[in-house]
Structure 1
């Protein structure tokens, strides 16, 4: 048997369709999905950070005692609308002396010498939980805090809260819509790539049927390869994304502040699972199609 015959025999081996283009196409498709996934994760984290920094200033009466301040602090800490991290309420006390020092540093002018007295008040700064960012809820919170004994006034930037709420809602809808479209388009692309790759094997599949091979026997080598191709593509796409992310971190130091490593690793794992499942499902569907075609339809 000469070399040309050996090559021909190898080419006609069941399930041995050219796999480079399939792996390449699936890898690129998964890379695009992963790239958008990273953008969604970073956007979500940034949105979360912005939402968690919505603050309300609680100014106290001028003659409140230290005991009154402790009671007010405990009262505020027990409220559900106060943001909590690791079960610790995000409440910070700023004395009128600290506030005066900060104001002098910012303006460069010592207003204490001009006025002869410190007109500022002791205050608590409270971070509000994102669940309570609705303007109506904020107003209710304001009224509730002002009813506490020793509280002079509650202040917050209304326009900022409204803007954050509206923008978070819009960004959420846009990301969901675009994600659905991108995933659907990518899955169709992968499915068509595999279908075209199996097209070259349609006559071999027919020949196996003619000699009495069962459908499961014919499918097995194709599904095995699809499993390997999808898994390999997921690994390659995750590796490319990891390299890209590390490069971005080197160029942008602050980028790490809006990264959740656990979610990023989950994304990489999802790409591997997605590549494997899509490869298997697309191959299975294409195989069923070619197994049902008549000889005339194969042409």
Structure 2
């Protein structure tokens, strides 16, 4: 008679592919939303960098006065510092007149025998000072400087950016909360169903005298590894998506923020490992405390 060979079931083993697929898919969707948030934040920062304040000087100022105002402004903390360079420019009235004549195509000074333009300082505002209230304080401070004629900025743009950013943040926050709850439930149910086939093996180990810690160990170890691997696979998929976007979408590389991407990828690996570990711990403890009748 031919012998029937049955595959031995190892403690802590369960369907690898289905569990890993569910974890990876859940983390990929979570990471995709996180990626959208990072892109939105980077885009908002780029837009906010265009918030500029213009400082018009009095006419007939001496060179020493202009240098004094220049040194004073460069020391201000609210001027945007981009990679060690202050976003700060000075345009003399002669340079402004030359630019204007290039655009218009005529020398307007011949008609009025004077240059009505003024020497101007223009600078971008640092992100920490981009609220309407703080910008108003900056304008008031600049107006008080001796030699300053007028200070202007696009107040409507500042208010519009801040209002829209608040609305988008609230919507994304609610969506992220719903998504996280969904992912937690999905991963928990996937692992619970995978461990369902192990319930009798767990009871058998208990009957031969294995401690709860000994039984839990292989399950928790595998769950941690599967969760971390799922996070790595999801991160690799997102990275590939980013690289593809850089090739087919012009200007997409401007939204590429390596620092936040690494934080996102690390968060996905941690989230996958933690949720898998916690869900497995919960399910194994459940079967450890079940009676034989309940297992059936």
Give the TM-score normalised by the residue count of structure 1. Answer: 0.91
Deviations 1:136-177 (A, max 9, x none): 332232222122111111111111111122222223333333
CA distance in 2, matches of 1:191, 1:106: 65
Change beyond 3 A, Cα 1:2–1:93: farther
- Structure 1 position 87, deviation (Å): 5.4
- 1:198 and 2:185 aligned: no
Change beyond 3 A, Cα 1:108–1:24: farther
Tell me the matched-pair count. 296
- 1:96 and 2:129 aligned: no
Structure 1 partner of 2:6: 6
Query: RMSD between aligned alpha carbons?
Result: 2.1
Indicate which of 170, 179, 183 corresponds to 2:180. 183
CA distance in 1, matches of 2:249, 2:104: 31
CA distance in 1, matches of 2:191, 2:46: 42
Structure 2 partner of 1:76: 73
Residue range with higher mean Cα deviation, 267-276 or 80-89: 80-89
Q: Where do residues 61-140 of structure 1 align in structure 2 (5 Å cutoff)? A: 61-86=58-83, 88-140=85-137
Indicate which of 125, 144, 148 corresponds to 1:147. 144
- 1:290 and 2:287 aligned: yes
Secondary structure of the residue that 1:152 maps to in structure 2? strand
Indicate which of 264, 268, 285 corresponds to 1:267. 264
- Structure 1 position 241, deviation (Å): 1.0
Segments of 5+ residues of structure 1 without an aligned counterpart are: none
Indicate which of 245, 248, 269 corresponds to 1:248. 245
- Structure 1 position 278, deviation (Å): 1.4
Secondary structure of the residue that 2:245 maps to in structure 1? helix
- Structure 1 position 13, deviation (Å): 2.5
CA distance in 2, matches of 1:226, 1:157: 54
- Structure 1 position 3, deviation (Å): 7.2
- Structure 1 position 104, deviation (Å): 3.5
CA distance in 1, matches of 2:70, 2:2: 90
Residue range with higher mean Cα deviation, 56-65 or 253-262: 253-262
CA distance in 2, matches of 1:239, 1:74: 48
- 1:236 and 2:236 aligned: no
Secondary structure of the residue that 2:45 maps to in structure 1? helix
Indicate which of 170, 174, 177 corresponds to 2:171. 174
Deviations 1:114-133 (A, max 9, x none): 44432211100022223333
Give the TM-score normalised by the residue count of structure 2. Answer: 0.92
CA distance in 2, matches of 1:87, 1:18: 53
- 1:40 and 2:37 aligned: yes
Secondary structure of the residue that 2:221 maps to in structure 1? helix
CA distance in 2, matches of 1:174, 1:52: 24
Secondary structure of the residue that 2:6 maps to in structure 1? helix
CA distance in 1, matches of 2:263, 2:137: 39
Change beyond 3 A, Cα 1:114–1:217: same
Residue range with higher mean Cα deviation, 285-294 or 270-279: 270-279
Secondary structure of the residue that 1:58 maps to in structure 2? strand
CA distance in 2, matches of 1:94, 1:122: 6
Change beyond 3 A, Cα 1:136–1:243: closer
- Structure 1 position 232, deviation (Å): 1.7
